[in-house]
Amino acid sequence: MRSPLAFLFVTVFVDMAGYGIIIPLLPFYAREFGASAVLVGLLASLYAAAQMLGGPLLGGISDRVGRRPVLIACLLGASVAYLVLGLAGSLFMVAFAVAFAGFMGGTPATAQAYIADRTSPEERAKGLGLIGAAFGLGLMAGPAIGGVLSLYSLSAPALAASALALSNAAFGFFALEESLPPERRSRGRISGANPLAQIYRVLALPTIRTLLLVVFLLNLSLRGF
């Protein structure tokens, strides 16, 4: 059986590199269409808000139909979003591309679920650590790649990110095996994946409430900076 770790590493790296390529360029898109700095911040928040809505839904779908189709769908969605951004001729198209990229941004979480499906408890932390490394490397490489490509045109970074995501989706379609067998899949309704209800249920768990607060404050300071 082929190890999926290499593909998952590349998948998360490409996904976060695409994010890193695009987000630093949003001020330049906003300037091109005459928007203010406030709108730049709102565009970044729009990505996170869409991800909050899409994450639980994509997670529920992956529990029901498997991880593989959701991973491929997320990569295809990211490719479409970056393509729209690269071809954007208005601020509305930029906002749509950012929101759609956020909504389809379930790749890291689904990759983590894939690893949890396929690894023993002893090997799980190692596999999840690999995903964390890919996450960080992608965020490190993305802005550098985007900066270099922006020397050619503002649309070049987005089009390159689209091509990367599409190539990875094609590779996953042919090379990635499913990790969640039918007998272990959820029988619940996907429509029940209400993001607000899920956040409430998670916050009701006292063992992780403090940890989530620390993560929230850390991300708040990083994103604000």
Q: Is 131 left (phi over 0), alpha (psi -120 to 50) or beta?
A: alpha
Q: Which residues contact 68 (CB under 8 A, 6 or more apart)?
A: 114, 172, 176, 177, 178, 179
Fold assignment, 5-187: Growth Hormone; Chain: A; (1.20.1250)
From the number of C-beta atoms within 10 Å of its C-beta (0-12, 13-18, 19+), residue 52 rates as middle
Q: For residue 172, how many C-alpha atoms fall within 13 Å in the half-sphere facing its CB?
A: 30
Which pLDDT tens digit goes with each residue over 115-150?
Answer: 888 888 888 888 888 888 988 898 889 899 888 998
Residue scoring higher pLDDT (56 or 138): 138
For the chain, the structural domain boundaries read 5-187, 194-225
Which pLDDT tens digit goes with each residue over 156-196?
Answer: 999 999 998 999 899 888 888 888 888 888 776 665 567 77
pLDDT-based confidence at residue 97 (cuts at 50, 70, 90) = very high
